[in-house]
Amino acid sequence: MAKAKTLFFCQSCGFESAKWMGQCPGCREWNTFVEEPSAGGAYGAKKSSPGKLKDAAAPVKLSEIETEVGERYSTGMEELDRVLGGGIMKGSLILVGGDPGIGKSTIMLQVCRNLVNAGHTMLYVSGEESLQQIRLRADRLGEFKKDPELLCETDLGAVAEIVRKSRPEFVVIDSIQTMYNEEVSSAPGSVSQVRESTGVLMQLAKSEGISIFIVGHVTKEGVVAGPRVLEHMVDAVLYFEGERHESYRILRGVKNRFGSTNEIGVFEMQEKGLVEVRNPSEFMLTGRPEGASGSVVVSSMEGTRPLLLEIQALVCHSFFNVPRRTAAGVDYNRVNLLMAVLEKRLSLSLSSCDAYVNIAGGIRITEPAADLGIVLSIVSSFEDIVLDPGLTCFGEVGLSGEVRSASFASKRVAEAKKLGFNACILPKASLKGLKKPDGMELIGVANVGEAVNAVKRISS
């Protein structure tokens, strides 16, 4: 009996090798190779004789290609439509990932309800729940005016055949880790199975013009389980963020071929499913402390949406040789960098202090324009200055202590004005061409020293 051939796959990028290697040559990650049975010949490739090769497609000139605007369908949820770039693009393949219990299956069933109620055809394929469990979840979510088609199946071949025969407009696969392709001799959820199954679904979506949602599990590092190539194959990648024990959920688009990336949608988990939060800034600022130092509101941008967030800092004397530094919602290394800038440029003695920085509301900030808010919150806590509750700020801080300009300044200021803020500290370079709202003071600063002085003047 011939010995079954096995290959080694990188779990990060999908690189294939005939032998195990400590470091992946493709993505340079360490200890990511796993052994999987080969689907065919060497490296999973099928050999074909030259006489049986298919005719190669002829190249086409760029000017001869006809373009048309793709058709979009509303999901019935404005927050989800925003993340998708305006709705579901026809023939797109969308990956939805998140921690267990965070609401992936719930939002997919809600989308299913909205689409069938709008007159579209839908097929919901579940490899994790029974039909009775799906019915109980549907009864909790609300009324279905029309019945969607449900299928409990893990055989991808059977699912693809049913989709080709029934030709629904939308398909939900929950989840990709439970799907099994008979042509791949490995267990469901393995690198080979996830990659090949996604390839079949991609061909199905593009050839038949069917929009397909794929639900994906995530690893303890917070990335979709399986090869990294999975995210490269799909058209859009959406991640659910937040703790499953908390009520608020954030849906973030990290990849979108048909819209802007880094858009977010905010939802609240209630008894009848996920409910949209139309004004995230207002709920993020709920419960702000009064008369407490170390609290600053920063005007951030998430995609095309302005978002006001509260940055909290606590700086106190350390009793250890190495002070403790903690950052929640912001980059830890960025906080250390900004503290070094304060110590060098403003002569603040922070090297002997513990520092804790937190973004209230459970959201994470990655844009540099939040630097000024982090700096002012640290200074406020260190010098015990209670900031004016009507003050907001934004701006990137450089290593020389300069405050650099930030994009979408007018949108940031307008959002602050809408929520009742009457003063904004911003980069001096961003004042050019910026229209001042009525009843709001705009303070342009060139460096962190000017920003701290402005804060002391307003708060005195």
**Together in a domain, 93 and 231:** yes
398 and 310 inside one domain: yes
How many whole angstroms separate alpha carbon 379 and alpha carbon 408? 26
- Last residue within a domain, chosen from 278, 307, 342: 278
Do residue 139 and residue 22 come from a single domain?
Answer: no
- List the one residue out of 110, 107, 126 whose CA is nearest residue 118: 110
pLDDT at residue number 3: 55
Question: The domain that contains 179 carries what CATH number?
Answer: 3.40.50.300
Question: Residue 319 has what pLDDT?
Answer: 87
For residues 274 and 335, membership in a common domain is answered with no
- Asked if residue 62 belongs to a domain, the reply is no
The count of C-alpha atoms lying within 13 angstroms of the C-alpha of 99, restricted to the half-sphere facing its C-beta, is 13
Within a domain: residue 63?
Answer: no
* Pair (22, 89) in one structural domain: no
Residue 56, pLDDT score: 53
Give the Cβ contact number of residue 146 at 10 Å. 13
162 part of a folded domain: yes
Q: Tell me what pLDDT residue 62 has.
A: 84
Domain count, the chain: 3
Domain assignment present for residue 67? The answer is: no
**Domain end point (choices 278, 302, 326):** 278
Q: Are residues 180 and 214 in the same domain?
A: yes
Same domain, residue pair 110 and 182? yes
Helix orientation angle between 156-166 and 191-208, rounded to the nearest 10 degrees: 10
Looking at the structure, tell me whether residues 258 and 117 fall in a common domain.
Answer: yes
Token look-up 């004004």 returns: 279
Structural domain includes residue 55: no
Same domain, residue pair 373 and 231? no
Q: Is residue 190 part of a domain?
A: yes
Which DSSP category does 20 fall into? -
130: exposed, middle or buried (Cβ count in 10 Å: 0-12, 13-18, 19+): exposed
pLDDT attached to residue 182: 86
Nearest to 271 by CA among 302, 247, 291, 298: 247
Domain of residue 300, CATH code: 3.30.230.10
Of the residues 259, 278, 297, the one at which a domain ends: 278
The Cα–Cα gap between 200 and 226 comes to 16
Q: Where do we find the tokens 């609290």?
A: 295
Please give the average pLDDT of every successive group of 10 residues along the chain, which has 460 residues.
67 80 85 71 41 61 75 91 92 90 91 94 92 91 88 93 94 91 80 86 92 84 61 90 75 88 86 88 85 94 88 93 92 96 94 94 87 97 94 96 94 92 95 88 96 90
| In a shared domain, residues 97 and 211 | yes
State the pLDDT at residue 51.
Answer: 46
The answer as to whether 53 is a domain residue is no
Please check whether residue 403 is in contact with residue 427, taking contact to mean a CB–CB distance below 8 angstroms.
yes
In a domain, 65, yes or no: no
Q: What is the pLDDT of residue 383?
A: 95
Q: Which domain holds residue 33?
A: 1-43
Q: If you compute the radius of gyration of the chain from its CA atoms, what whole number of angstroms results?
A: 26
**387 C-beta neighbours (distance < 10 Å), count:** 22
**Predicted structure pTM score:** 0.76
Query: In which element (H, E) is residue 149 found?
Result: strand 149-152
- Asked if residue 291 and residue 410 are part of one domain, the reply reads yes
* Together in a domain, 214 and 358: no
